[in-house]
Structure 1
Amino acid sequence: MTKKRLYLILTLGLIAGYSWLAYNLWQQHAVNSKPVCFFKRTTGIPCPSCGNTRSVLAITSGDFYDAVLINPLGYVIAAILIIFPFWLLYDVTLRKETLYRSYLQFEKALGKKTVAILLIVLILLNWIWNIQKGL
């Protein structure tokens, strides 16, 4: 993937993420309803990322323990939403490639069997936990 394409995808993803977060913060105050993902509505079981929105919302309100219980992946999403806009701005403003180089290193690491298997196992464990707790 080219640097330009990566930065465009990240920018659009961050805009979508912040828009979704703002919408859910507004919904949380307007109506006390919990969003249900398409996968859960279709199959009746939660997906591996079910609860991420509620986890990030818990983080924004300072309920850090609840955020972990809802879905620990929410912390990954929150970190991305906090760090990546500044990182993108840094690279674009100063014409650097630090984020792009880090992406290439991450992509290379994912190509290693042990790293890929570890991440898959962690996602599967999170999914089992989501199903177990009836998310």
Structure 2
Amino acid sequence: MTRNKLYYLVLSACILGYSWLLFLKLAVVKKSNLDLTVCLFKRITSLPCPSCGITRSVSYFFNGEIINSLFLNPFGAIAAIIMIVSPVWIIFDFIKKKQSFFDFYKKAEHLIRNKTIAISLIGLVILNWIWNIYKHL
């Protein structure tokens, strides 16, 4: 992946994430009776997937409810931090004509390809999935 493609992809994902949060906030404010569950896995199986609850978790995080965010889905806090840090970092790179975010991405990708780390991360995802099922998310 090229630097520009990564930056475009990450910024687009952040914009979509912020847009989705704004849409949900407006839908909740209007007290809409819409079923806004977008998880295909949950719709088909009635079981939450490992990422179920991330949107609400991110929303809690941005409202300063860090404990609730972590309790609902710890991946949400990670997503919120990424949504805050990455656009600022990418803008900094553009202004300074650097590629530190891209270099960090390449190092992280290389690190995750380590078998021990990959298995550990998969284990964390499975534990989070069990946690989501236990909470009846």
Question: What amino acid does structure 1 have at the position aligned with 2:130?
Answer: I
Secondary structure of the equivalent of 2:36?
A: coil
1:61 corresponds to which of 60, 63, 67: 63
**How many matched pairs?**
135
Deviations 1:92-117 (A, max 9, x none): 11110100000000110011001101
Q: Tell me how far apart the structure 1 counterparts of residues 27 and 67 of structure 2 sit (CA, whole Å).
A: 22
Map of 1:88 onto structure 2: 90
Shift of 1:67: 1.2
Within a 5 Å distance, the mapping from 1:1-135 to structure 2 comes to 1-31=1-31, 35-36=36-37, 37-135=39-137
- Which string of whole-angstrom CA distances, capped at 9 and with x for unpartnered residues, describes residues 68-113 of structure 1? 1111111001101110110010011111010000000011001100
Q: Distance in 2 between matches of 1:26 and 1:40?
A: 24
- The structural deviation recorded for 1:32 is 6.3
For normalisation by structure 1, the TM-score amounts to 0.94
Q: Segments of 4+ in structure 1 off by > 3 A?
A: 32-35
* Structure 1: unaligned runs, 5 residues or longer: none
1:28 is displaced (CA, Å) by 2.2
* Structure 2 residues not aligned, in runs of 5+: none
Contact 2:3 2:102 in 1 (8 A): yes
User: What is the one-letter code of the residue matched to 1:91?
Assistant: D
RMSD: 1.4
